[in-house]
Each structure stands twice: as C-alpha cells, then as structure tokens.
Amino acid sequence: MSSIFDKLLVKGKHVCPSWVCFTFDNPLRKIFHDPGKIVAPYIRPGAMVVDIGPGKGYFTIPMCQLVGGEGRVIAVDIQEQMLKSIQRRAAAAGVAESLTTHLSMPNDFGLAVQADFVLAFWMVHEVPESGQFFTNVKAIMKSEAIFLIAEPLFHVTEGRFNNTLRTAQEMGFKIVAHPKISFSYAAALVL
C-alpha cells in the first residue's frame, strides 16, 4: 500500500496531473528556480526554443521574453489543458507572438523544427521509454544546440538520473556541464 507521501509526490505516475502544477507555478518558486538565471545563458534573441513538458509555462513565458518577437518558443505537451493554460498566460504577458503550442503524442513529438535550445525541466522521469524520447529530442536539435535536463531530487534518485544520462549518451548526446539548480539534478547536453 502506497503512503500519503507517495501520493502527494505523484510517485508511480508517468504524467504529472494538471492539479499538481499550481505547486510549481507560484511566486515563491522564483527564489529557488529563477527562470532568467537558469535558461538565459542558453537563449539569444531570435532563437528557436522547444520546451518539452512545460506544465503551465513557468519557464515558457520567460523564454518567450528572451527570444523576442523574432524568435519562437514551442511548448510541447501531451496534455491539451496545459497548452491552453500556457496560451492564456502568454497572451496576458504580451508574448503570444513568440509562442507556438504543440500537442504531442506520448512517443512522438511530431515536430519538424531545428531548435537552438531544448528544455526538459522536471519531466524526463515521466517518460515511459527514454530511448525513444532522446531520439525525438535529437531530431529537433541543430548540431550546435544545447539540451538542458533537470530532474527533481526529491522524486528522482541520483542513480536513476545517472541512468537517464547513460541512456542519453548511448543515444549520441555528450554531457558538457552540470548546472547548479536548486532541488535538482541537472545536465547540459550537446550532440
């Protein structure tokens, strides 16, 4: 029998339910996860960015601001309600012209883009087949692109994160950095 702690952390689920996302999108989170500090080093005005599993857009909206009117952020999710929430937030923030939302299939992004930067923040552990996931990511990256993965240390063990990185390396990725991100295991990857 699972504990209340496991239920609160949604352990054993492959997709974070939308009702949990309010806990990720609150003003206090910026103390620990300032989007500008985490993603700004990787994003230039005019860039093509893909945010995989963006929740309700905690990083998506700031990334739209960073790419500006000439750039594009594609928010990719398998949950349509998440994408609708991001669209509303982008309109309210005045960055809707930089945003595209894309409803993905669980094992196929269905995107034909070449991204400069790809973000998967606290979501890779939700993927049922990581090899296919990394194949999908490779298909949307420019050769000089950066792929930033961050996983929650209270939900993912260090061993599991290292297994994820091994799978990424087997799929052709190279680890170039381990950025310090609060409450997270993180790695910046290139092809």
Question: Which are the contacts of 156, defined by CB distance < 8 A and separation ≥ 6?
Answer: 125, 185
Burial code (b: 16+ CB inside 10 Å, e: under 16) for 83-93 equals: bebbbebbeeb
Give the residue among 137, 144, 151 at the shortest CA–CA distance from 74: 137
Give the residue among 70, 61, 59 at the shortest CA–CA distance from 96: 61
Q: What is the mean pLDDT of residues 94-106?
A: 97
Kindly indicate the confidence band of residue 157, based on its pLDDT and cuts at 50, 70 and 90. very high
| Span 4-34, pLDDT tens digits | 444 444 444 456 555 455 556 667 767 889 9
What are the residue ranges of helices labelled H in 9-129?
29-32, 35-39, 60-67, 80-93
Question: Which are the contacts of 61, defined by CB distance < 8 A and separation ≥ 6?
Answer: 35, 86, 89, 90, 93, 95
Stated as kind and residue range, the H or E segment containing 135 is: helix 130-139
Q: How far apart are CA 181 and CA 98, in angstroms?
A: 26
Query: CB of 112 within 8 A of CB of 165?
Result: no
Stated as kind and residue range, the H or E segment containing 119 is: strand 115-121
Q: How far apart are CA 50 and CA 121, in angstroms?
A: 11
**Domain 31-190 indexed as CATH 3.40.50.1220:** no
Kindly indicate the confidence band of residue 71, based on its pLDDT and cuts at 50, 70 and 90. very high
| Span 170-184, pLDDT tens digits | 999 999 999 999 999
Token duo for residue 44: 């230039």
